[in-house]
């Protein structure tokens, strides 16, 4: 079931969470920088992505509101926090947002990752 919720504006987010998201934008990992370079400025088929978007109290690495798609880049720490990630994915999915997980290792082939993301986007807006 898809629930309609405000994600990119109108959310009641604790100021500490917003400050943390801003810090994460300034301190992106190398994999996040590579992906952001490919996504920023509506470069992927005209879809607008945001970095470090708060969704249901969690911070998604990248988020496209038009596609209701959150992208998570998973480094080594995610092997240790799989239960947290599972809870986060369930909370985000409960409001109709799909979570696409991509390993940092996959970012060695950015073009393949972009094609994987493209396949997760609705075709109605592709150019």
CATH 3.40.47.10 is right for the domain spanning 29-125: no
The token pair that represents 1 in the structure block: 């079931």
Selection from 64, 65, 67, 62 nearest residue 29 by Cα: 62
First-to-last alpha carbon distance for the chain, in angstroms, is 29
Selection from 19, 53, 20 nearest residue 36 by Cα: 53
Selection from 68, 61, 78, 63 nearest residue 3 by Cα: 68
- The model scores a pTM over 0.75: yes
E runs forming strands in 1-127: 50-55, 58-64, 69-74, 98-103
Q: Which pLDDT value is given to residue 121?
A: 95
Per-residue pLDDT tens over the stretch 83-123: 888 899 999 999 999 999 999 999 999 999 999 999 999 97
Give the model's confidence band at 14: pLDDT under 50 very low, under 70 low, under 90 confident, else very high: confident
Give the model's confidence band at 2: pLDDT under 50 very low, under 70 low, under 90 confident, else very high: very low
E runs forming strands in 3-127: 50-55, 58-64, 69-74, 98-103
Per-residue pLDDT tens over the stretch 24-63: 889 899 999 999 999 999 999 999 999 999 998 899 999 9
Q: What are the extents of the domains in the chain? A: 29-125
């Amino acid at each position: 079931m898809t629930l309609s919720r405000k994600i990119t504006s109108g959310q009641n987010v604790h100021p500490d969470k917003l400050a943390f998201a801003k810090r994460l934008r300034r301190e992106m990992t190398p994999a996040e920088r590579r992906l952001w370079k490919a996504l920023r400025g509506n470069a992927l088929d005209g879809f607008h992505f945001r970095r470090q978007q708060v969704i249901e109290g969690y911070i998604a690495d990248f988020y496209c509101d038009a596609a209701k798609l959150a992208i998570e880049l998973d480094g080594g720490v995610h092997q240790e926090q799989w239960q947290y990630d599972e809870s986060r994915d369930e909370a985000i999915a409960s409001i109709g947002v799909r979570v696409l997980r991509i390993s940092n290792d996959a970012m060695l082939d950015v073009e393949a990752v972009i094609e994987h993301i493209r396949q997760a986007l609705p075709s109605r807006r592709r150019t």
